[in-house]
Structure 1
Amino acid sequence: MNQKIVVTDVETGGTDPQEHSLLQVALVVFENGLELDALKLNIVHDAYRVTPRAMEINKIDLETHEGYKPEEAVQMILDFMKKHFEKPAQVCGHNVGFDVGFLKVLFKMVGVDYDKIFSYRLLDTSAVARFLVFAGIIPPRGSLGDLAKHFNVPHDPKELHDALVDCRVTYQLLVEMTKMFPSAVTDTDVSEAI
């Protein structure tokens, strides 16, 4: 794990980035197995588009939800990313395509090019888990909480679905998953391959 990556997670008002509100985003930068920096932002909107099921899962109370307007949030994300990465950063997450979909909409909303900040190359712990299930290595698991439990990643299940908590659990899950594969390449080989 001798690479610098950013782990991201979002909490939303539903499953459709074109339709539902992005409510919370977190980014955590890791390098050599260590957390270097973290950012967590609540996003506020003039009007929210949410589903009851999503709000039940994320436990966000819109009556007390305070944070940053999309323009402010994107600027804070840009400043955070530029502090740590000179070129588009590799993004990791659990079901990361979901998170990226909402981030792309957020960036587009304020006229900023997502692809200049984040790489198109994604590392998805959910996809790794599906591969391990398909290969018969682990029993069927899907949720971040189930996988964290299976791989003995310390976490409080009641704290999951907070974007920052989920980022940290996701990274630790990734670390535990990599222990299942022997390393046969050098750090130079790995960095050149991605």
Structure 2
Amino acid sequence: MRQRFVFIDLETGGGDPKRHPIIQLAAVAVDAAGGVLDTFEVKLKFDFRKAKSLSLRKNHYHPGLWANLAREPVMAAKDFASFLRKHATTPVVSAEGESFHVAQLAAHNAAFDGPFLTAWYDKLGLYLPARRQILCTLQMSLWHCALANADSPTNYRLATLCQFFGIPFHAAEAHEALADALATVQLFQAIRSRSRQSNNQVGGVGSNE
């Protein structure tokens, strides 16, 4: 089974996965070459009292839009689990010795999105069919700039890195979950391409000596 990756992006009502709700979730499934296979997007109903108003403004929350489109968390989580199973290519073995496959997640700043996603499924009492180790494009960017001895961006936010790597990404699209997930896919492809070019250059220098 050829490897697939599922790039995720969450928009939340704050920064604490134990206290604040997820308000929007998007995912993009790609093949090993980075080609887009499928997308998922959902706005979620949440308890407004548990969200920070500043975070809601930052993450493009509109009461009227959510009233029309937001879904109950349990049903949305089940649908997302089905999406993950559809693109599950990473083999794992259960404690009972049973072999099965889960999805390989990827995200920009996985240290933020990962705990929110796992905490959400734990609260709902549902199984998340994904590997807990998440590929992180923020970490990839740090490693690339360090190992390639290249110029570094001013910061490692998604919008800044897109500009740094020449990826079209408008500021108005930032914190829209699907737009962020698609931009993360492009960032992943750009870092991988730059890293290959750097490796080829190093190999070429060595072969001429």
Q: TM-score range by the shorter chain?
A: 0.7 to 0.9
Q: 2:151 aligns with which of 118, 125, 138?
A: 138
Question: Which 4+ runs in 1 deviate beyond 6 A?
Answer: none
In the alignment, structure 1 residue 40 sits paired with structure 2 residue 41: yes
Question: How many Å apart are 1:154 and its aligned residue?
Answer: 1.8
**AA paired with 1:42?**
K
Match of 1:165 in 2: 179
Which structure's residues are more often helix, by fraction? 2
- SS for the counterpart of 2:50 is coil
In the alignment, structure 1 residue 72 sits paired with structure 2 residue 81: no
Give % identity: 26
Question: How many Å apart are 1:169 and its aligned residue?
Answer: 0.3
The two structures, once aligned, show a CA RMSD in angstroms of 2.0
Counterpart mapping for 1:39-188 below 5 A: 39-65=40-66, 66-85=69-88, 87-114=101-128, 117-135=129-147, 136-140=149-153, 141-182=155-196
Aligned length: 181
If you compute each CA radius of gyration, which structure gives the higher value, 1 or 2?
A: 2
Give 5+ residue unaligned stretches, structure 1: 185-194
Question: How many Å apart are 1:80 and its aligned residue?
Answer: 1.2
Counterparts of 1:98 and 1:28, CA distance in 2:
18
Which string of whole-angstrom CA distances, capped at 9 and with x for unpartnered residues, describes residues 63-107 of structure 1?
531311111111111221222225111111100121111111221
Give 5+ residue unaligned stretches, structure 2: 90-100, 200-209
Moved more, 99-108 or 174-183: 174-183
Counterparts of 1:17 and 1:62, CA distance in 2:
22
Counterparts of 1:109 and 1:156, CA distance in 2:
34
Which string of whole-angstrom CA distances, capped at 9 and with x for unpartnered residues, describes residues 128-182 of structure 1?
2222344542323211000001101122221121111111000100100011223
